Chains A and B, each alone.
Chain A
Amino acid sequence: MSFTIHRVTQRAHGGEPIQRSKRVEGDVASIGRGTDCDIQLPDLTIGLHHADMRITGRGEVAVEALGDYTFEAHGTVVRRAKFRVADRPKLVFASYLLAFGPETTQDEVAVTVTHASDGGEIADQSSERKVFSLAPNAFGLRRAAWLLGLLVLAIGLAVPVAFHFLNLNASSVAPQEQWSPGPLSQGHSFLQHNCEACHAKAFHAILDAACLACHQNKPGAKASTAIAVRVLGMGSLFPPDPAQDHAAQNLLSRATGGAGVFEHPAVANLSNFMNRPGQRCISCHTDHVGNDGHRMAATQATTAETLTTDCTSCHAALKSRLPDTAVLDVVDWGQHPDFRLLMASLVARGRPNFDRDSMTDGPFDKGLKFSHRTHLSPTGDVAREALENSKPVAPDGRLSCSACHQPDMEGRGFLPIEMTKDCSACHSLRIRGIDGRPDTLPHGDIAKAIAKMRSINNVDGDTGLRTTRLRPGTSEETSTDQSLTSMTSTVTRKIRALFTNAGATKGLCYGCHAFVAPKDPDSVEFKVVRVQLTNRYLPRSGFDHSVPAHLLNANGKPGCVQCHATNSSESLSNVIIPGISQCKLCHGNATAPWGEAAASNCTECHGYHNTGDPPAREIYERPWRLPPGL
């Protein structure tokens, strides 16, 4: 019995494989790496003496690995295997394949040994490229580029556009938001996920209609409620502020016309062509920049542009473009025209009416006999009475301004002067009443004052008025009218004395008011000259009394009289609103005593939509207080 071992070796560069055969006599042959083995397999994972194969019968072979060595037979790892040669089994020893088969005689077994990984060439062309170049090892450059580009295009463009045109705005995902250049202003933040609320039409700029849909000016009560309901329904926390335009649209477009290249008509036409017309709400109200760009409050006060350039681009030469305008040209703060008082009448419930734009010279305030000079004299009756009535007084003993002028709730100016509140502490309307007890005349209505006088004097027994009963269906007034004819001359004299400069009551009313006396010397039909007090002389500016520096004099001490020339004001018609020169002592004056010029921007005093509401002004929530001693 013997084994015939055929060794097949592949040629290095291809071609017919080399086959060498040798015969091993006996029924046992050894397999291993060692040179003494019958089948030598030069693979380091194979043991020096790995296994023995034995012919166990006619055409039968058993292979048994030594120690804990193994080999593969029929696809499984085994330590021994027994098989018939006629089945042509194959055994795998590491990288070597042993194929068994019958030889010419039945006692012989043929074993063909081949090396499984023969013919490998590390340094061939493809592996060399793989070693030295990155390309075969990394992702495909071109494919990656296209994939990435298309991905960005799909997510960044296709999806948002699809959402817009498919009207998928209400869904929880808003891919258009990635287009948002920044957060909306606080007031508009509820629209953050609702792009189409303002961007109504694709490729068209936001027109004023979109803004006015909510910010319509003077919409009327019904429409106002409807707007409020709609806006609150969209998620806003408060209803929108109506926007008053700076001037009529046609005036605005006539008045504008800048000098720079970018204001050139060609550029303007280009803007129109690009669906971005100028002179729109959003020309100024740029949103998507948080609270910075929303020109509402003090947020814009620091940049020079809005403050000066924006305004003067129209107002520097307004007269040339709008010859009929009443507004004077302003080039800059240095050449700002002096103030012209815009007078307003106190028409109803203390609210000034500014409808009339009359810009004329005084006299303005009418109807009261009042002298600031007398009232603010450190000596004399007023100062004495102030002490007696424990009214606030200034350090020099004069009556304090705050005794009569009360700060308003908005924190900028003063409440309208009211006699009962601001004057009556000194200017008492007390009279001797019934039985000599003190009584007070009512203020503000002559008829009531006369009635009071009559009733007091009637009880005194001077007249028989009290005995006249009122009949059903007749009013007190008519009965008074009737009774007037039966008044005694004493009562008439007393009443007349109230309104004239002579008599027992020393002209209680006459002291302050002017009256039109009746022609009939027995009549008491006096008519008061209507009192007309202006509460805000410069409604188109937003002068702020509460600014601490505005309450100081040149020495840094509190002093209203620094600006208001009270000493020279002998009568009410003598308005003591200071001129612009007073403002210029600090504003824009680098040589001010404190060495620093106060701001001289337009927006320091003026607003755009409401000229009297400067954006530089702080928003007040509480009434302000006058410091003591003013």
Chain B
Amino acid sequence: MADRSSYGERADIAYHETFLLHGRLRWMKVAIILNVAAIATFWWANAPAGFRLQHSGGTPLGYTLGTIGALIMVWLTMIGIRKRAMTSGHWSLKAWVSAHVYLGLSLIVLVTLHTGFNFGWNIHTLAYALMWAVIVSGIVGVFGYVYLPVRLSDVRGDMTKRQMLEIIRSLDGRISDAAQPLDRSQAAAVQLSLDKTILVGGLFQRLTGLYFGCGNRRAIRRLRRMRRKASDAQGAVLDRIAGMLARKQEMLKKVRRYVRVRTYLEAWLYVHVPMTFALLAALTAHIVSVFFFL
């Protein structure tokens, strides 16, 4: 396989293997071995002493765990550089992401043992909390990458992103054309759909799917009330417009569902990356401070 891949063919042509299952869970095994070894050593070092864990981060074992944890953290951040360079085989990006995920998860055990379960309102616990923020956002990201891309194409169906937007735009034009004979208040209602429609909204709306006050919905409701009082000629126009507003609503739902999935796929990074930087800074402050005030 490796030979074939070196000639530029896909090494994994026979099947698709996700980064989670890469190399028969090689990195998961590495992480588990690392954690079991850490727990065993921790037990061996502390059990005879009755687990007196105050300042256990400053014991030789504590330094060892801390150093390993810090090195792993620094390596994990290298994925930001690594993903922009192309390699293959054992050091393919997939292998790298697999290691990133499993070694990142192994930090939960390594670093928690390093803390000796001592927490407080200080820079040290801040670093620990930031680590959790990075890991949890990373877990969200992993779940997103595993489950969401399928849903993404499901939602979109056989339409392209541009097609979805074009349909809404052309509906807007047709609604506007159709509404020309309407009187002032009816026209104002239709205008709500044209002006006040919230296509996908901000981050909150993208994530929650809550679009209260969307102009299209308000236009639909308002026209429904007006329809009862309208004359026959106006009623025919209003019915046509209502039909188009309903179709626009359907298309809006589709776009929003799609965008919601896309947002989930991207939003975790907005926690993961800044928190990683904050973590590296807090880690630096943690390391310097413990040696500054030995």
A501 vs chain B, min Cβ distance (A):
63
Report whether A123 and B289 are in contact in the complex, using a CB–CB cutoff of 8 Å.
no
Cβ of B61 < 8 Å from any Cβ of A?
yes
- 20 new A-B contacts, CB < 8 A, other than A141-B269, A178-B121, are A33-B187, A42-B180, A44-B180, A48-B184, A123-B169, A131-B161, A131-B259, A145-B276, A146-B277, A148-B274, A149-B274, A152-B281, A156-B123, A156-B126, A156-B282, A178-B122, A179-B290, A195-B293, A275-B294, A303-B50
Interface hits, B218-241 → A, CB 8 Å: none
> Which residue from A141, A177, A180 sits with its C-beta under 8 Å from B273?
A141
Bound complex: CA A202 to CA B183 (Å)? 81
Interface string of B137-154 (1 = CB under 8 A from A): 000000000000000000
Residue of A nearest to B49 (CB): A305
Bound complex: CA A274 to CA B165 (Å)? 64
B121 cross-chain contacts in A, Cβ below 8 A? 178
List 10 A-B pairs, minimum CB-CB distance, nearest first: A305-B49, A149-B277, A156-B285, A303-B50, A152-B281, A44-B187, A157-B285, A289-B54, A205-B294, A145-B277
Q: How many contacts between A and B, using CB within 8 angstroms?
A: 186
Interface centre among B126, B187, B267, B276 (most CB of A within 10 A): B187
Stretch at the interface among A132-140, A320-328, A481-489: A132-140
Cβ of A24 < 8 Å from any Cβ of B?
no
Bound complex: CA A289 to CA B266 (Å)? 42
Report whether B54 and A292 are in contact in the complex, using a CB–CB cutoff of 8 Å.
yes
B184 cross-chain contacts in A, Cβ below 8 A? 47-48
Residue of B nearest to A310 (CB): B49
Bound complex: CA A149 to CA B134 (Å)? 13
Interface hits, A283-317 → B, CB 8 Å: 286, 288-289, 292-293, 302-306, 309
Cβ of A35 < 8 Å from any Cβ of B?
yes
Bound complex: CA A141 to CA B285 (Å)? 23
Report whether A309 and B48 are in contact in the complex, using a CB–CB cutoff of 8 Å.
yes
Interface centre among B59, B120, B177, B183 (most CB of A within 10 A): B120
Report whether A153 and B284 are in contact in the complex, using a CB–CB cutoff of 8 Å.
yes
Stretch at the interface among B15-23, B32-40, B98-106, B200-208: B200-208
B47 vs chain A, min Cβ distance (A):
9
B156 vs chain A, min Cβ distance (A):
10
Cβ of A75 < 8 Å from any Cβ of B?
no
B171 vs chain A, min Cβ distance (A):
11
B180 cross-chain contacts in A, Cβ below 8 A? 33-35, 42, 44
> Which residue from B181, B290, B291 sits with its C-beta under 8 Å from A34?
B181
Cβ of A182 < 8 Å from any Cβ of B?
yes
A164 cross-chain contacts in B, Cβ below 8 A? 292
Bound complex: CA A593 to CA B71 (Å)? 57
Interface centre among A142, A152, A261, A289 (most CB of B within 10 A): A152
- Interface set of B (CB-CB < 8 Å, partner A): 45, 48-52, 54-55, 59-61, 118, 120-124, 126, 161-162, 165-166, 168-169, 172, 176-177, 179-184, 187-188, 190-191, 194, 199-200, 202-203, 206, 255, 258-259, 262-263, 266-267, 269-270, 273-278, 280-282, 284-286, 288-294
Residue of A nearest to B256 (CB): A131
A99 cross-chain contacts in B, Cβ below 8 A? none
> Which residue from B50, B277, B280 sits with its C-beta under 8 Å from A302?
B50
Report whether A44 and B179 are in contact in the complex, using a CB–CB cutoff of 8 Å.
yes
Cβ of A150 < 8 Å from any Cβ of B?
yes
Knowing A179-B122, A179-B292, the reply to whether A134 touches B267 (Cβ < 8 A) is: yes
Bound complex: CA A262 to CA B49 (Å)? 14
B168 cross-chain contacts in A, Cβ below 8 A? 122
Report whether A45 and B274 are in contact in the complex, using a CB–CB cutoff of 8 Å.
no
The B interface is mostly helix, strand or loop, or mixed, namely helix
A274 vs chain B, min Cβ distance (A):
8
A348 cross-chain contacts in B, Cβ below 8 A? none
B123 vs chain A, min Cβ distance (A):
5
Report whether B203 and A138 are in contact in the complex, using a CB–CB cutoff of 8 Å.
yes
Knowing A123-B166, A176-B293, A293-B55, the reply to whether A181 touches B118 (Cβ < 8 A) is: yes
Cβ of A206 < 8 Å from any Cβ of B?
yes
Cβ of A246 < 8 Å from any Cβ of B?
no
A160 cross-chain contacts in B, Cβ below 8 A? 289
Report whether B255 and A131 are in contact in the complex, using a CB–CB cutoff of 8 Å.
yes
Bound complex: CA A179 to CA B177 (Å)? 68
Knowing A44-B182, A160-B289, A262-B61, the reply to whether A123 touches B281 (Cβ < 8 A) is: no
- Interface set of A (CB-CB < 8 Å, partner B): 33-35, 42, 44-45, 47-48, 122-123, 127-128, 131-135, 137-139, 141-142, 144-146, 148-153, 156-157, 160-161, 164, 176-183, 195, 199, 202-206, 261-262, 267, 274-276, 286, 288-289, 292-293, 302-306, 309
Report whether B118 and A182 are in contact in the complex, using a CB–CB cutoff of 8 Å.
yes
A299 vs chain B, min Cβ distance (A):
11
Report whether A305 and B122 are in contact in the complex, using a CB–CB cutoff of 8 Å.
no
Residue of A nearest to B50 (CB): A303
Knowing A179-B293, A305-B48, the reply to whether A134 touches B262 (Cβ < 8 A) is: yes
Bound complex: CA A132 to CA B254 (Å)? 12
Residue of B nearest to A42 (CB): B180
> Which residue from B191, B200, B278 sits with its C-beta under 8 Å from A45?
B191
Bound complex: CA A177 to CA B123 (Å)? 9
Bound complex: CA A470 to CA B126 (Å)? 90
A204 cross-chain contacts in B, Cβ below 8 A? 294
Bound complex: CA A123 to CA B15 (Å)? 37
Residue of B nearest to A153 (CB): B281
Report whether A132 and B258 are in contact in the complex, using a CB–CB cutoff of 8 Å.
yes
Residue of B nearest to A130 (CB): B200
Report whether A309 and B49 are in contact in the complex, using a CB–CB cutoff of 8 Å.
yes
Between-chain CB contacts (< 8 Å), 12 pairs: A44-B188, A122-B172, A128-B161, A132-B200, A132-B262, A148-B275, A156-B286, A157-B285, A183-B120, A195-B293, A199-B292, A203-B292
B11 vs chain A, min Cβ distance (A):
31
Residue of A nearest to B52 (CB): A303
Bound complex: CA A160 to CA B187 (Å)? 65
B269 cross-chain contacts in A, Cβ below 8 A? 141
A173 vs chain B, min Cβ distance (A):
15
Knowing A152-B282, A303-B50, the reply to whether A135 touches B266 (Cβ < 8 A) is: yes
A178 cross-chain contacts in B, Cβ below 8 A? 121-123
Bound complex: CA A473 to CA B165 (Å)? 130
A202 cross-chain contacts in B, Cβ below 8 A? 292-293
A305 cross-chain contacts in B, Cβ below 8 A? 48-50, 52
Bound complex: CA A305 to CA B52 (Å)? 8
Bound complex: CA A58 to CA B76 (Å)? 81
Bound complex: CA A382 to CA B161 (Å)? 112
B78 vs chain A, min Cβ distance (A):
15
B253 vs chain A, min Cβ distance (A):
14
A524 vs chain B, min Cβ distance (A):
68
A375 vs chain B, min Cβ distance (A):
46
Report whether A157 and B284 are in contact in the complex, using a CB–CB cutoff of 8 Å.
yes
Residue of B nearest to A183 (CB): B120
B212 vs chain A, min Cβ distance (A):
19
Bound complex: CA A135 to CA B267 (Å)? 9
Residue of A nearest to B266 (CB): A134
B209 vs chain A, min Cβ distance (A):
15
